[in-house]
Structure 1
Amino acid sequence: MQKIIDRFISYVTVDTESDPNSDTCPSTEKQWNLANQLVEELKQIGMEDVTIDEHAYIMATLPSNVDYEVPTIGFISHFDTSPDFTGANIKPQIVPNYDGGDIILNKEQNIILSPGYFKDLLQYKGQTLITTDGTTLLGADDKAGITEIVTAMEYLINHPEIKHGKIRVGFTPDEEIGRGAHLFDVEKFGADWAYTMDGSQVGELEYENFNAAGAKLVFSGKSVHPGYAKGKMINSILLANKFIAKLPKDEVPQKTSGYEGFFHVHTVSGSIEESKVELIIRDHNLKKFKERKKLIEKLVEKLNKKYKKKFGGPIVECTIDDQYFNMKEKVEPEIHIVDIAEKAMKDLGIKPLIKPIRGGTDGSQLSYMGLPCPNIFAGGHNFHGKYEYVPVESMQKAVNVIVKIAELTAIK
């Protein structure tokens, strides 16, 4: 397992935070640092057709070692980290033989990773954990996935007795800002299907995800001296607040789970003259997803109707943009690719946890681009923050699953 630890740390200590406000791809220049490192490493372990394009999309091939026709499969992960929390100067901490108690991440700042709050920790008693130092995220999302794919490919290269067909690997930038698949060349990749290694705890196998949209609203107002404002002032901040209050109060991330959708207001800014509200809309069910978007439009319409005469025109402007759709529609007709992954886990003594993703992956977009792409666990927990950690044993199990899937796909 030391090789997994060393490889993972060599990846996470490279800052690859993406930037949603950038128009370039990759969105940050620093993502090239790890991308170029990965290209050289893929060549060193013996992968063939290693390429990187002008947008830092990496592809490589492990040729088939059987003399009969086998489907070409792929494994995909992303190398950027979330802008939700800093990924600069990551200092991973290794906790061998975890005792089940509190882990002090940062003594000076009293930052503690505790099973009293993060109960999943107790599953990993006796295992080796890699954590943050409490000041950054870790980057297991999704550098654990990259570690697992590279390690699995190296293992297959060093063990030619394991029969497999042609395997393609792909590493992408900017997944964390929703653009990871935008410039992915599915035709060039040339796989019949693929798996993203981008899930969380051991056993996760997902082929359903949210339908997703983002909404941006701009509220206008009229500023008048507050001492003489009666009947004249229109405070756009209060209009924005009125809109937010009309959203279903229990349909928010902190009160939903499973297949329950939500509205999530994530940015509010403003003044009397102008206020902006940004939110995301999520639902697994396409009909309910469309109804959620219609609710936003109706609330906007009501406000505009109410203030039309007083304001002299639309007082709220709203744009709603679809972001991605539920991959179930594309994967279910090819359900055998889920069955193979499920069997691989069972053969390795891993209990499959087949459940919907409460989010999206590159795989959701790739599935609609013609590459059916379920998601498999990468092993990390508490992504996008200072409490992120990954058990090394979970990464090893993910490596084993990749190898087993390759082996199962090559069975006549």
Structure 2
Amino acid sequence: MIDKQHLINRFLSYVVIDTTSDPENSAFPSTEKQWVLAKMLEKELIKIGMQEVELDENCYLMATLPSNISENVPIIGFISHIDTSPDFSGTNVNPQIIENYQGNDIIINEAENIILSPNYFEDLQEYIGQTIITTDGTTLLGADDKAGITEIVTAMEYLMQHPEIKHGKIRICFTPDEEVGKGAHLFDVEKFGADWAYTMDGSQIGELEYENFNAASAVVTIKGKMVHPGYAKGKMINSLLLATDFINALPTLEIPGKTEGYEGFFHLHDVTGSVEETKLEFIIRDHDFDQFEERKYLLQKIAFDMNEQFQNTVVLVDIKNQYFNMKKMITPVMHIVDIAEEVMIDLGIQPIIKPIRGGTDGSQLSFKGLPCPNIFAGGHNFHGRYEYVPVESMIKATEVIIGIAQKVAEKYG
């Protein structure tokens, strides 16, 4: 069905382009290099025959596959993001292709003794006999989300080449800056014009997600007072020590390394400080909204109690909401999840329906009026040197896109 080598070549042409985003830059896109892939994709979409191809001033690329049926059926969309994570280098990506993988350790960088081992990454055992694309150990791969882009472009191309497959109007969009939380900020839902969409941004084959964390960031600023240590009794306030007290007041087991599934957490990800002032930066996550609110309240309560102890404001807490659980917006339109699940089953894929322990553009888009579950793109171990993607998973994801287009036409035509 899908030309395997053609898909591989397309994917490789995308991942070698550095599109790392920058969390410190408020511009759209946050890095100029995202334009390189965006403009390349613009030309490619025009070449394969897509209509209404538009790359806007903020690096959002939209296009249309026209309907090939007379009936009015829902307009569906597929979305992926152009940028890669700033957590690890995306410069000089050098993909390695392992054909007919046999379940052994993969030496991805002999000089630095970097090994992708199924003893540690157990999911590798699921892909014995398949073709796996890895990094060379010095960069990430970029399957997050260039696998999704590959799948969407390949599916659109296939549908145009096979008019016997009936489908309604399909809209696609490639967004910038998803990895720094801004991918949906300037997304024009009205212009996109779809009744619903799917982000192709999940991991292992079969993933189908319509729940994600409620998310907030928190900056805790602790004020101290520096006095000569030899004469400090009753005078010095060491903000570093108060920061330790603040951290220890949080539930010790509610951290990323000790939670899973629906369990939420507090994640302390950055500390800067001196005696005079210490800043603690947290992210707060929970699937349950009430528990999410309780987590934010707890931070404020700890600060209140410490300030009461000193009879002064020594602790300040600044909390900002980031995104919310899209389950609230998807539940009333669960048929859009059911369609994707039916297609996977038709293709012999076991659906894995589970909550996302993170966020997605689909969450923000759902709250902007575009219900948007998330579908697997096939990659594993995102944001680091051990990232890999089985080619067969990308092929299956492409078939899912085609299958959804076909099933919507069948159900509503």
Q: Tell me the alpha carbon deviations over residues 102-122 of structure 1, each in whole angstroms, 9 at most, x when there is no partner.
A: 011111111111000000000
AA at the equivalent of 2:151: E
AA at the equivalent of 2:273: G
Displacement of 1:232: 1.4
Match of 1:108 among 111, 116, 121: 111
Match of 1:159 among 158, 162, 165: 162
Query: Counterparts of 1:373-388 in structure 2 under 5 Å?
Result: 373-388=372-387
Q: What does residue 98 of structure 2 align with?
A: 95
Q: What does residue 395 of structure 2 align with?
A: 396
Q: What does residue 17 of structure 2 align with?
A: 14
Match of 1:58 among 58, 61, 71: 61
Structure 1 SS opposite 2:217: strand
Displacement of 1:182: 0.3
* Aligned mates of 1:126, 1:376 — CA distance in 2: 24
* Aligned mates of 1:3, 1:246 — CA distance in 2: 55
Query: Counterparts of 1:256-335 in structure 2 under 5 Å?
Result: 256-308=259-311, 313-335=312-334
* Aligned mates of 2:15, 2:243 — CA distance in 1: 40
Displacement of 1:241: 1.3
Query: TM-score, structure 2 length as denominator?
Result: 0.98
Displacement of 1:24: 0.3
AA at the equivalent of 2:382: F
Q: Tell me the alpha carbon deviations over residues 146-171 of structure 1, each in whole angstroms, 9 at most, x when there is no partner.
A: 00000000000000000000000000
* Aligned mates of 2:272, 2:114 — CA distance in 1: 30
Query: Counterparts of 1:46-195 in structure 2 under 5 Å?
Result: 46-195=49-198
Q: CA RMSD in A?
A: 0.7
Question: Is residue 237 from structure 1 mapped to residue 261 from structure 2 by the alignment?
Answer: no
* Aligned mates of 1:352, 1:76 — CA distance in 2: 20
Displacement of 1:266: 0.5
* Aligned mates of 1:351, 1:372 — CA distance in 2: 23
Number of equivalent positions: 408
* Aligned mates of 1:151, 1:38 — CA distance in 2: 12
Give unpaired runs (5+ residues) of structure 1: none
Q: Tell me the alpha carbon deviations over residues 75-99 of structure 1, each in whole angstroms, 9 at most, x when there is no partner.
A: 0000101111111111111111111
Displacement of 1:4: 1.1
* Consecutive aligned runs of 4 or more in structure 1 exceeding 6 Å deviation: none
Displacement of 1:222: 0.9
Displacement of 1:231: 1.5
Q: What does residue 340 of structure 1 align with?
A: 339
* Aligned mates of 1:302, 1:45 — CA distance in 2: 63
Moved more, 322-331 or 225-234: 225-234
Displacement of 1:314: 1.2
* Aligned mates of 1:144, 1:240 — CA distance in 2: 42
Question: Is residue 210 from structure 1 mapped to residue 213 from structure 2 by the alignment?
Answer: yes
* Aligned mates of 2:292, 2:115 — CA distance in 1: 38
Question: Is residue 220 from structure 1 mapped to residue 223 from structure 2 by the alignment?
Answer: yes
AA at the equivalent of 1:364: S
Q: What does residue 404 of structure 2 align with?
A: 405
* Aligned mates of 1:78, 1:307 — CA distance in 2: 48
Displacement of 1:288: 0.5
* Aligned mates of 1:388, 1:135 — CA distance in 2: 11
Q: Tell me the alpha carbon deviations over residues 338-386 of structure 1, each in whole angstroms, 9 at most, x when there is no partner.
A: 0100000011010111111111100000000000000000000000110
* Aligned mates of 1:149, 1:217 — CA distance in 2: 42
Displacement of 1:392: 0.3
Displacement of 1:305: 1.3
AA at the equivalent of 2:246: F
Query: Counterparts of 1:353-364 in structure 2 under 5 Å?
Result: 353-364=352-363
Structure 2 SS opposite 1:410: helix
Q: What does residue 255 of structure 2 align with?
A: 252
Q: What does residue 351 of structure 2 align with?
A: 352
Displacement of 1:72: 0.2
AA at the equivalent of 2:179: E
Give unpaired runs (5+ residues) of structure 2: none
